[in-house]
């Protein structure tokens, strides 16, 4: 039976993918029960410390449009026309992203975007949102999830109906599928971590060009900064955990100060709270999660980071998760029953999510190293010229960021 109006579905996780998915499923007439471990972000202070802003591109925009929420999101979004490369000597160069008007990406606050999606989901009659509910895994001997109410400690179960797990990179549901030998999981941690810092306004004005993604590439590591609506920038340092030029060496304020003055003097001058923030803000880890076996019959499906977390260097994790949501809903028109739908979803998506995982890893080298290389710049200019002359020639970066009609796996074949 094709998933039909009035049927119930459980979604675990009301992060970026879960909240968008709830809207899309409810708009198809399904009854959606969402369980999220955090407190309701409409009431409590939003989580801080993990990627404060994100780059939104065409695939994500397409998902938001399909859900009818794009007009609520765009006022939160700041266009970024290209990467502004900051050389060691303080000189800058804007490397534009797209060759056509409108080929820009957008900086958007994770918390604000998530809140808008949750508000939009809550307005739909078919959506029930349950916050403060930690999913512990699959219910034993029956369909549904085992949950713990974080306020009371009470253990309970979600209804026995198909469930979609969007509980992120550390997915408890993925662990449960692994324990039952349904999923095969390979986690590849990156040996570089990240830390987020702030570049405040200067005299009430943004300290850097607003419509750009700023990069201070330094070969083995880099600092980037994305603009926020309040005229601040969120800067992120990506650096090895151990060894020469690593987080391990930045154990004292003096070491941090010396490192930033040496490597990023122009950025250092814009970060008055550098050393305080450096020791107060968490050091985040990164990695790729490859999973085979995203579903258990028609009972459970993994989607978004829960199925395929990637490193952030192509700015595509959320975009890909939104594309997952749109594709799942599209496949509903073609597939009979949840089991067939879930199977078709993995079959169609996995080659594409494997492709973006690879491109995201490759883009780290490009961002921290290749953008400095005159030969790379020459080739990029040539590719831009070719693309302007012949609209059928679409370089990989453009294919990923601006052409959602080109699957990731096909984009990977472009150079």
Ligand X SMILES: Cc1cc2nc3c(=O)[nH]c(=O)nc-3n(C[C@H](O)[C@H](O)[C@H](O)COP(=O)(O)OP(=O)(O)OC[C@H]3O[C@@H](n4cnc5c(N)ncnc54)[C@H](O)[C@@H]3O)c2cc1C
Per CB under 6 A, residues contacting ligand X are 12-18, 35-38, 51, 54-55, 134-135, 166-168, 172, 194, 304-306, 312, 315-319, 321
Q: Which residue's beta carbon is nearest to the bound ligand X?
A: 15
From the DSSP assignment, how many helices (H) and strands (E) are in the chain? 14, 20
Of the pair 188, 373, the CB lying nearest ligand X is at 188
In eight-state DSSP terms, residue 46 is: P
Three-state DSSP class for residue 17 = helix
Token readout for 46 is 């939003």
**Would you call 6 exposed, middle or buried from its count of C-beta atoms within 10 A (0-12, 13-18, 19+)?**
exposed
Shortest separation between residue 68's beta carbon and ligand X, angstroms: 19
Shortest separation between residue 278's beta carbon and ligand X, angstroms: 16
Alpha helices in 313-370 (DSSP H): 317-332, 337-368
Of the pair 136, 269, the CB lying nearest ligand X is at 136
Three-state DSSP class for residue 378 = helix
Of the pair 96, 393, the CB lying nearest ligand X is at 96
Shortest separation between residue 320's beta carbon and ligand X, angstroms: 7
Shortest separation between residue 317's beta carbon and ligand X, angstroms: 2
Shortest separation between residue 263's beta carbon and ligand X, angstroms: 20
Of the pair 111, 269, the CB lying nearest ligand X is at 111
In eight-state DSSP terms, residue 139 is: P
Is the separation of the CB atoms in 144 and 8 below 8 Å? no
**Measured distance CA(131)–CA(151) in Å, rounded:** 10
Shortest separation between residue 43's beta carbon and ligand X, angstroms: 15
Shortest separation between residue 15's beta carbon and ligand X, angstroms: 2
Of the pair 232, 377, the CB lying nearest ligand X is at 232
Of the pair 53, 95, the CB lying nearest ligand X is at 53
Radius of gyration from C-alpha coordinates of the chain: 22
Of the pair 166, 228, the CB lying nearest ligand X is at 166
Of the pair 95, 363, the CB lying nearest ligand X is at 363
Shortest separation between residue 102's beta carbon and ligand X, angstroms: 19
Long-range contacts of 370-377 (CB under 8 A, 24+ apart): 371/83, 371/85, 371/95, 371/215, 371/217, 372/85, 372/87, 372/217, 372/219, 377/95
Shortest separation between residue 203's beta carbon and ligand X, angstroms: 29
Of the pair 264, 322, the CB lying nearest ligand X is at 322
Backbone dihedral angles phi then psi of residue 284, each to the nearest 5 degrees: -90, 150
Cα-Cα end-to-end distance for the chain: 43
**Measured distance CA(120)–CA(23) in Å, rounded:** 7
**Measured distance CA(84)–CA(353) in Å, rounded:** 28
Is the separation of the CB atoms in 296 and 302 below 8 Å? no
**Measured distance CA(390)–CA(23) in Å, rounded:** 39
């Amino acid at each position: 039976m094709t998933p039909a109006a009035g049927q119930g579905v459980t979604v675990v996780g009301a992060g970026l993918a879960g909240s968008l998915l709830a809207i899309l499923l409810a708009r198809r007439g399904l009854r959606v029960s969402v369980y999220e471990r955090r407190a309701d972000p409409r009431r409590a202070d939003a989580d801080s410390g993990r990627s404060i802003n994100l780059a939104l591109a065409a695939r994500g925009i397409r998902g938001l449009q399909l859900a009818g929420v794009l007009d609520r999101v765009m006022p939160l979004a700041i266009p970024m026309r290209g990467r502004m490369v900051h050389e060691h000597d303080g000189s800058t160069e804007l490397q534009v992203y797209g060759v056509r008007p409108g080929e820009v990406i957008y900086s958007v606050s994770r918390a604000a975007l998530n809140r808008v999606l949750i508000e939009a989901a809550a307005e739909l009659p078919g959506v029930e949102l349950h916050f403060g509910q930690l999913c512990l895994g699959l219910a034993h001997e029956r369909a549904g999830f085992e949950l713990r109410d974080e306020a009371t400690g009470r253990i309970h179960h979600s209804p026995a109906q198909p469930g979609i797990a969007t509980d992120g990179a550390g997915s408890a549901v993925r662990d449960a599928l692994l324990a039952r030998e349904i999923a095969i999981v390979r986690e590849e941690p990156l040996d570089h971590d990240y830390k987020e810092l702030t570049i405040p306004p200067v005299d009430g004005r943004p300290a850097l060009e607003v419509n750009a993604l700023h990069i201070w590439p330094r070969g083995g590591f880099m600092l980037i900064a994305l603009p926020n609506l309040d005229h601040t920038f969120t800067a992120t340092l990506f650096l090895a955990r151990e060894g020469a030029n690593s987080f391990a060496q930045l154990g004292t304020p003096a070491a941090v100060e010396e490192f930033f003055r040496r490597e990023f003097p122009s950025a250092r001058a814009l970060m008055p709270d550098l050393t305080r923030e450096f020791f107060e803000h968490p050091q985040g880890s990164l990695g790729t999660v490859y999973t085979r076996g995203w579903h258990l019959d028609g009972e459970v499906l993994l989607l978004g980071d829960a199925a395929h977390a990637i490193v952030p260097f192509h700015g595509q994790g959320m975009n890909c998760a939104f594309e997952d949501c749109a594709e799942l809903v599209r496949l509903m028109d073609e597939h009979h029953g949840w089991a067939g739908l879930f199977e078709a979803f993995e079959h169609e998506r996995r080659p594409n999510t494997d492709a973006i995982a690879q491109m995201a890893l490759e883009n780290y080298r490009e961002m921290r190293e290749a953008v400095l290389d005159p030969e790379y710049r020459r080739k990029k200019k040539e590719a831009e010229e070719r693309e302007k002359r012949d609209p059928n020639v679409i370089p990989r970066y453009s294919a990923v960021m601006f052409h959602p009609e080109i699957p990731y796996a096909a984009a990977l074949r472009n150079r």
